[in-house]
Amino acid sequence: MDCLAGNALIGMIGGCFGTTKLALARPTHVEADASTEARSTPKPSLALVTGFTGSLHGSKHRQRSCGHRSRAGKWDEVKLWQMGYRQELVRSFTMLNNLAIGTSVLSFFVLADTYGKYGLAYGGPISVIWGWIICSVFSLVVACCLAELLSAFPTSGGIYYWQVAFTAGLEYSLAEAVAGVVYLQTGGPSGEGLRLSKTALFGVMALMLLVHALLNSVSSALTSYTNVVSFFWHVVATLALCTTMLCTARRLNSVQYVLTTWASDTAGHGIKSPVYTFLMGLLMSQWTIMGYDASIHVVEETIDGETAGSWALVGSVCVCSGLGLVLLLSLTFAMPSMANILNAQNVRGGHGAILQLLWDVFRSRYGNGYGALGMSYIPLVGLFFCANASLCANARMAFAFSRDGAMPGARVWRRLSPRSRLPVKASWLMALLALLLGLPIVYNHLFFATVSAGSVVALSLSYGIPICLRIFHDRHSFLPGPFNLGRAGRPLAVVACFWILLTSVVFVLPTKYPMAPGSANYTAGLIAAVLALAAVLFYAPGFGGKTWFTGPAPNLD
């Protein structure tokens, strides 16, 4: 219970920024001795609740049988019942559907902006390529640790946090991408392109949120279809984009240039230390490979969730890391001029480094860059799918948090649509909060940078807390699921915690020297303010969470 109370304090960040909670021990409404619970559960009770009367073992044989989906679905309901929850969401997602959602949230098309802003600007090609590889390896370690916990606790709220700030940042990035494409398509090369005003940019963001909320309110089938289309778009369109760039480029850079070129201060950030510069370059990769927990939040909708969800989580990181590396290598090999990409006064009007690179590649071959106009829609569509999947995951987080009664208005947000059995109200709540957060983001770029960095720090810490608890938890009372790291679990958890701590520190460091009010990094102050507010909301006499929040709330009645 102390573990639950301690994590509930972090959980009170909910309405402000992001939340985290995990009960590695069984919930309070279940027998305390977890090591004997699963073995002593009487089958008649399971049959009474779920209609499942088969063996609780032999999953490999079930997977080979023609009735796997039906039996796996019943087993999923058994697992939920053991944790005190009944099946409410429609369980129709396959491993591919789960993988598609995770891959969509991890969309490497976010690199459209960060490739130049953080990658090339802080170290050049070395930071871009090797920074991506390093982040990919450590992110895979974190993903494996989370997958093990997901397999043991296959619920939308097994490891949850409410990260509306992350979605708001993605929606703003999408709006910025739209602005860049509009500018380029309406005459950017001549300097007479249409520049969207701040108000118009906010309008684009509001429109995108409206569309995404609608897409997540219709049916589970539409959600599944949309994300599968997104998955294949990320794979096929990325390979097409890379092939086009490499075949169109008049001259390819050498392998030595791509893998060993160091540019210490190409953007005038004033940082002299090579180590510090490289750490800043990691921001590009870490901001992109973030959010792979989406597979966790749709696990209650995934058939054979304890296995399929875990492998989908790990798979999404592998897909993003692999295709992202292919994209970065292609961009860097085909790049005609690093200086031109970093120059904000160019044909793309400062919007998106990849747009400029595409223009330069076509111009080097044909004398003009108009061939890039059609290609510019590839990252734009990818970002659209990314923001849509992020809102989908957000809605499941809000649903899980509300189901445990740990969120203001929980009785409203936990309700599912009687027609679609989707958390429709939670989806619209997340869209509204993202829109409200987007208002200062659009009109103050420094606020956007602070919120974006803060959301990544909060997201990383929400990964780290349950993984850290796994290190110190009694291994004899922890019942792993089918995805089990075995003896490697704890060493990998230590590595994961080290990486999470390192990247969290990097995201609060100043990105420019000398520091000035208009260029300082206020992320540390934001995190401190949110934690202080969370402490007040938790410990406040009379209405604080400490007086009413006791952990997971059973809903089997």
DSSP codes, 303-341 = TTHHHHHHHHHHHHHHHHHHHHHHHHHHHHHH-S-HHHH
Assess whether pLDDT exceeds 80 at residue 142.
Answer: yes
Assess whether pLDDT exceeds 70 at residue 28.
Answer: no
Q: Say which residues have a Cβ less than 8 Å from residue 337's Cβ, sequence separation at least 6.
A: 360
Residue 57 lies in a domain: no
φ, ψ of residue 354 to 5 degrees: the values are -65, -35
Residue of higher predicted confidence among 397 and 73: 397
How many helical (H) and strand (E) elements, i.e. helices and strands, does the chain have?
A: 25, 0
How far is it, in rounded angstroms, from Cα 428 to Cα 414? Answer: 12
pLDDT digit string (tens) for 197-208? 889 999 999 999
How far is it, in rounded angstroms, from Cα 278 to Cα 108? Answer: 20
Where residue 347 falls among pLDDT bands split at 50, 70, 90? low
Where residue 179 falls among pLDDT bands split at 50, 70, 90? confident
Are 10 and 459 in contact, with CB atoms under 8 Å apart?
no
Residue 91 lies in a domain: yes
Q: Can you list the positions of beta strands (E) in 167-298?
A: none
Residue 59 lies in a domain: no
Q: Say which residues have a Cβ less than 8 Å from residue 105's Cβ, sequence separation at least 6.
A: 291, 292, 294, 316, 386, 389, 390, 393
How many domains does the structure of the chain reveal? 1
pLDDT digit string (tens) for 110-120? 888 889 888 88
How far is it, in rounded angstroms, from Cα 253 to Cα 329? Answer: 10
Residue 556 lies in a domain: no
pLDDT given at position 69: 53
DSSP assignment of 489-551: HHHHHHHHHHHHHHHHHHTTS-SSSS--TTT---HHHHHHHHHHHHHHHHH-TTTSGGGT--S
Encoded tokens for 471: 């290190």
Assess whether pLDDT exceeds 70 at residue 83.
Answer: yes
Q: Mean pLDDT across the stretch 1-16?
A: 37
pLDDT given at position 190: 59
How far is it, in rounded angstroms, from Cα 35 to Cα 57? Answer: 16
Look at residues 185, 171, 234, 248 and name the one whose alpha carbon lies nearest to residue 430: 171
Residue of higher predicted confidence among 47 and 381: 381
Residue 65 lies in a domain: no
Q: What is the CATH number of the domain that holds 11?
A: 1.20.1740.10
Question: Which residue pairs, CB below 8 angstroms and at least 24 apart, start in 485-493?
Answer: 485/144, 485/145, 485/148, 489/145, 489/148, 492/141, 492/144, 492/145, 493/145, 493/467, 493/468
From the CA atom positions of the chain, what is the Rg in Å?
24
Encoded tokens for 162: 């409410």
Is 302 in a helix, a strand, or coil? Answer: strand
Residue 88 lies in a domain: yes
Question: How far is CA 5 from its chain centroid?
Answer: 26
Residue 371 lies in a domain: yes
pLDDT given at position 445: 79
Q: Say which residues have a Cβ less than 8 Å from residue 481's Cβ, sequence separation at least 6.
A: 148, 150, 151, 152, 154, 306, 307, 310
How far is it, in rounded angstroms, from Cα 228 to Cα 234? Answer: 10
Encoded tokens for 446: 């420094």
How far is it, in rounded angstroms, from Cα 456 to Cα 282? Answer: 13
Q: Mean pLDDT across the stretch 358-368?
A: 89
Residue 462 lies in a domain: yes
pLDDT digit string (tens) for 291-303? 888 888 888 889 9
Question: Which residue pairs, CB below 8 angstroms and at least 24 apart, start in 514-520?
Answer: 514/270, 518/446, 519/446
pLDDT digit string (tens) for 247-279? 999 999 999 999 999 987 666 778 888 999 999
- Boundaries of domain holding 189: 2-50+71-547
pLDDT digit string (tens) for 208-247? 999 999 999 999 999 999 999 999 999 999 999 999 999 9
pLDDT given at position 238: 95
pLDDT given at position 462: 86
